[in-house]
Structure 1
Amino acid sequence: MGNREGNVFRNGKFRRPRMSRRAKKDVWAFIGFTAPNFILLGLFIFWPIIYSLYLSFFKWNMISPKKTFIGMNNYTALFQDPVFWQVTRNTLILAIFTVVCKLGIALGLAMQLNKKPKGQSVYRAIIFSPTFTTSVAVAMVWTWIFEPTYGLFRFFFKAFGMVSPDWIHNVNWSLPAVIIVLIWSGIGYDMVIFLAGLKNIPQEIYDAALVDGVTPLQNFLYITFPLLSPTTFFLTVTSFIGALKAFDIIAIMTDGGPMNSSNVYVLYLYQNAFQWFKTGFASALALILFILIMVITLAQNRLSKRWVHY
């Protein structure tokens, strides 16, 4: 006789049945297969987060063996630092413009390629090529394109009777220059994901809508976009996180200058940790970035219930 939980009633007591040899082998096999993943996650994800939190309460230059406990002073200094607020503002502006423009252009290209034009494989390869190009190469090529004296943009502006601005060294143009490069380098990946999502929409739905006489705009608003919303949501979340962590292209092109006009969060964190050796301050920055990404991702998850249709 047993209860719902599988316990066996013997000698007036409920006893849990012994695990069979096969069940024990399955348990050890599960532990053996999953343990390496949990160990790697612990070593390279969870432990760095915990240790970074620990370091944020200390003053340390990463060289001296002695760490000086200063409590919440790093966080106080961080929120009183005007550069921190400027960098945060730059990062959010960069993230919003990059994500919106990149996803919009990628969706438009995917819809055109979904019509199967001639030479579509060539177009795909050309658009996708920046994705597998190294960030160093991308940054160096675009630095030359933006060069106001002999760069490619100079001839483009000259054709319209205008003078090309000094993109990299001007406080008003350095951040837009970085945004342009990030959009260009990320369109290919988003386009391929959108194209895969469009392929999964049944053609019968469009045929039925055509019989009802819907316009192309109605087709997009009431069929394509709702059915593509899970793909759009995935790309929105991943693109936003990627934009908040932007570093390499900006470090090579502008190094955050001039006057921190193009400086972003991760680059400022790197400067504090590895250039100025303010490890405790940099750890506090890292924790704030972690919280910022978590809050934005949770907010996107909550808002997705209003517009994402599975």
Structure 2
Amino acid sequence: MSRVITEEAVQLPSVDAPPSVDPARKRERRIKKSRNFFYFLAFAGPNIALILAFVYYPLAMNMYYSTLDWRLGAKTAKPVGLANYIEFFTSPQGTEVWRVTIIFTVTTVVGSMVLGLLMALVLNRKLPGRTLVRTSLFSPYVLSGVGIGLVWSFIFDPRLGVMRYVFEFFGGKSPEWFLDPDMSLLMVILVYIWKNLGFCAVIFISGLQSIPDDLLEAAAIDGAGPIRRFFKVVLPLLSPTVFFLLISTTLSSMQAFDILRIMTPTGNGTNTIIFEIYLQSFGAYQRAGYAAAISVILFFTLFIITAIQIRFVERKVHYS
């Protein structure tokens, strides 16, 4: 016997009818959103206002000044469009600035990280007095760059400095560090590596201490020697630390100024981008518009370098 199902027997729900919303709950959600927005403005609003006032507004005004032919202190300025940028990228002086900046940045970053890693491997062992050595190694990083520059200027003095006696002890003669452009660049590179060495070493030590001993013991049981354990186990697990130091030291080296200004006031062979900005704006040239263009180029250079490191270098980072 067949069963006949009629429309009266089955009540199907209507798909077109909107779900009912409790007005009280809707009002409560609205009040909660308003309260959260008020808290956001109360806590984040002052910080956002300060960032807009002291970061983005000066950046926008600097971009505007970079399109002007303006002498520092002059009451009038002539719009020149992109002429300042074209001059920097096409002039021999601009090419020299790029060359010095690349040499200074690459050597200081590589030197600080390699020597810092070697020092970290030594100081990570249980040696007597390692705490004192770690403190002494890190202390130059927190010292004033002006003080460091003054002390090392005396050390490199070819007539009265300590380096003179070191060269004489080995039968040589101290070079003219402050007159020879190549020696001036080498001098500030050595000082800057010495200053940042402790920072890299301390960060590497923290990374080494986070590596489980079980992995190193297992690799030793499998027959891996110290060198193979370092390249196959330690270095891959240090990749987050290396990635952090690569970004931080690169940005720091490209913005190095205080030591360069004290040891080479006129920029004799040490004209990095940021030092060239100072010389063009506050030095003998007084070209504020041209210096503004160089600072914009520096900003975008740092932005691109950071983006490339995050995009490609982070692929090689192992977080576990």
Same-fold call, TM > 0.5?
yes
Bigger shift: 110-119 or 269-278? 269-278
**Displacement of 1:274:** 1.9
Root-mean-square deviation (CA, aligned residues, Å) is: 2.0
Distance in structure 2 (CA, Å) of the matches to 1:44 and 1:190: 30
Contact 2:260 2:267 (C-alpha < 8 Å) held by counterparts: no
Distance in structure 2 (CA, Å) of the matches to 1:123 and 1:102: 17
Name segments (4+ residues, structure 1) moved above 4 Å: 8-11
Contact 2:109 2:250 (C-alpha < 8 Å) held by counterparts: yes
Distance in structure 1 (CA, Å) of the matches to 2:315 and 2:128: 38
Could you tell me which residue of structure 1 aligns to residue 128 of structure 2? 118
Could you tell me which residue of structure 2 aligns to residue 292 of structure 1? 301
The alignment status of 1:53 with 2:44, answered yes or no, reads: no
Larger radius of gyration: 2
Distance in structure 2 (CA, Å) of the matches to 1:110 and 1:265: 31
Contact 2:267 2:275 (C-alpha < 8 Å) held by counterparts: no
One-letter amino acid of the structure 2 residue matched with residue 309 of structure 1: H
Aligned length in residues: 299
Contact 1:78 1:285 (C-alpha < 8 Å) held by counterparts: yes
Compute the TM-score of the two structures, normalised by the length of structure 2: 0.88
Deviations, residues 191-215 of structure 1 (Å, cap 9, x unaligned): 1111111111111111111211211
One-letter amino acid of the structure 1 residue matched with residue 149 of structure 2: A
The alignment status of 1:143 with 2:150, answered yes or no, reads: no
One-letter amino acid of the structure 2 residue matched with residue 28 of structure 1: F
Structure 2: runs of 5+ lacking an equivalent: 1-12
One-letter amino acid of the structure 1 residue matched with residue 246 of structure 2: T
Contact 2:280 2:291 (C-alpha < 8 Å) held by counterparts: yes
One-letter amino acid of the structure 2 residue matched with residue 127 of structure 1: L
The alignment status of 1:269 with 2:285, answered yes or no, reads: no
Compute the TM-score of the two structures, normalised by the length of structure 1: 0.91
**Displacement of 1:133:** 1.2
**Displacement of 1:299:** 2.0
**Displacement of 1:34:** 0.8
Structure 1: runs of 5+ lacking an equivalent: 2-7
**Displacement of 1:280:** 1.1
Distance in structure 1 (CA, Å) of the matches to 2:315 and 2:83: 41
Bigger shift: 156-165 or 108-117? 156-165
Q: Residues 15-26 of structure 1 correspond to what in structure 2 (within 5 A)?
A: 17-18=26-27, 19-26=29-36
Q: Residues 21-170 of structure 1 correspond to what in structure 2 (within 5 A)?
A: 21-170=31-180
Distance in structure 2 (CA, Å) of the matches to 1:31 and 1:130: 41
Contact 2:240 2:318 (C-alpha < 8 Å) held by counterparts: yes
**Displacement of 1:37:** 1.5
Contact 1:250 1:256 (C-alpha < 8 Å) held by counterparts: no
Question: Identity rate of aligned residues, in percent?
Answer: 35
